[in-house]
Structure 1
Amino acid sequence: MTTGAILLAAGFSRRFGSIKLTAMLPGNTTVLASTSRLLQNNVDELIVVTRPALFDADVFASTDIPEQQIVLCPDAELGMGHSLACGIRALPAHWDACLVCLADMPFIKPSTLQQICSRADRSRIVIPAYQGQRGHPVCFGRDFFTELAQSQGDTGGRDVIKSHPEQLDLLEMDDAGILQDIDTPEDLPACQ
């Protein structure tokens, strides 16, 4: 099984007030650098989807993401679904499963990613949960890639999940990080 990750990093940070991917975290690392490093250390391969304006603004300068792993999504303003579809269409043919990860969620434990990857399967959707609440990242098997490539708007992979309840694998985790994202500057100290 080759399990890669798509890191969705094309958002507009409207509630944050500035580009939250460049916000600093403890350890003097940016949100984007922290999240991408977490994934690089725990999945087989990584693709990062962003919009051209963020790429041109040197948002990636603080990361060690090779340029060939960055996919530009020109219609990212139409919603997360478009970014997801763009990333899915760029996947290498040898991937068996894919974690769909959000760039503003750097607090997930490495062991959580490892457990999700260990349950990856071509015909399953693995969803982590914390105290009964579903979180991220969600791992989609290869069987769902064609449907995910049609994603639109802000629903991301939710429609695909709803269409395949019999293929869901809910994985209860002891990791509140699967629910912690960064929406406003106030979320930074609360998560430290």
Structure 2
Amino acid sequence: MKIAFVMLAAGNSRRFGSNKLLYEIEGKPMYLLTLEKLKKASEKIPESEIIVVTQYEEIVKKAGEMKIPVFINPRPEDGISLSMQIGLMSVRDTDACLFTVSDQPWLEADTVVALTELFENEKKGMACIRWNGKTGNPCIFGQKYYEELMEISGDKGGKKIIKKHPEDVAYLQIRNARELQDADEPDVFTAGNLR
């Protein structure tokens, strides 16, 4: 199975108050933690590739150093759907596409690997991670859903498609809710909220 890992890193971080993707955690920018985990996961998944969709020069430069292809979102204000579609257009020949956001710094590489294996083994059209009934990123979409993904507009991801075809979704139950937590506001990093 040929699969692309698409890291979405073009958001404007309105609620965060500054560019959260460059916010340092454990001495590294947040986006880099995600990118390194995707790279680690990709090394365990044959026929996988990583691409990044961003608007930020620092991310372009770092991904380039890591030999990871980057595509620019020229209109990030149009929402996450455009970033997804820019990524998807560059990997249309893959069997599946995993989308992940860059503001879930506690996502683990092993979870990405397990989700990919689940998708391949379950033979369903989509796969997502889940904790206590809550679904989140990353999510994998098989090629049969690429056209529907291309039709989404605004600040909406693939959840609309997941809800439309619930019978065609495999779920990976994660053990640590922290993996699903996204960093939308700076107080997520305060001492009482850190893992």
TM-score bracket, shorter-length normalisation: 0.7 to 0.9
Partner in structure 1 of residue 194 of structure 2: 191
SS in 2 for 1:17: coil
Partner in structure 1 of residue 45 of structure 2: none
Q: Report the CA distance between 1:128 and its aligned residue.
A: 1.0
CA displacement 1:133-159 (0-9 Å, x = unmatched): 112101111111121122211111122
Q: Report the CA distance between 1:65 and its aligned residue.
A: 3.8
TM-score, normalised to structure 2's length? Answer: 0.86
Q: Report the CA distance between 1:92 and its aligned residue.
A: 5.1
Q: When you count helix as a share of all residues, which structure comes out higher?
A: 2
Partner in structure 1 of residue 109 of structure 2: 110
SS in 2 for 1:42: helix
Partner in structure 2 of residue 86 of structure 1: 86
2 CA distance for matches of 1:100 and 1:46? Answer: 10
Partner in structure 1 of residue 151 of structure 2: 150
Q: Which runs of 5+ in 2 are unaligned?
A: 43-47
SS in 2 for 1:41: helix
Asked whether the equivalents of residues 129 and 178 of structure 1 are also in contact (C-alpha less than 8 Å), the reply is no
2 CA distance for matches of 1:162 and 1:142? Answer: 17
Partner in structure 2 of residue 46 of structure 1: 50
Asked whether the equivalents of residues 135 and 178 of structure 1 are also in contact (C-alpha less than 8 Å), the reply is no
Q: Which runs of 5+ in 1 are unaligned?
A: none
2 CA distance for matches of 1:191 and 1:11? Answer: 23
For 1:2, give the aligned amino acid.
Answer: K
Partner in structure 2 of residue 7 of structure 1: 7
TM-score, normalised to structure 1's length? Answer: 0.88
For 1:48, give the aligned amino acid.
Answer: V
2 CA distance for matches of 1:177 and 1:60? Answer: 27
Change (3 A) 1:62 1:87: closer
Asked whether the equivalents of residues 12 and 76 of structure 2 are also in contact (C-alpha less than 8 Å), the reply is no
Runs of 4+ more than 6 Å apart? none
1 CA distance for matches of 2:29 and 2:62? Answer: 7
SS in 2 for 1:138: strand
CA RMSD between the two structures: 1.9
1:29 aligns with 2:33: no
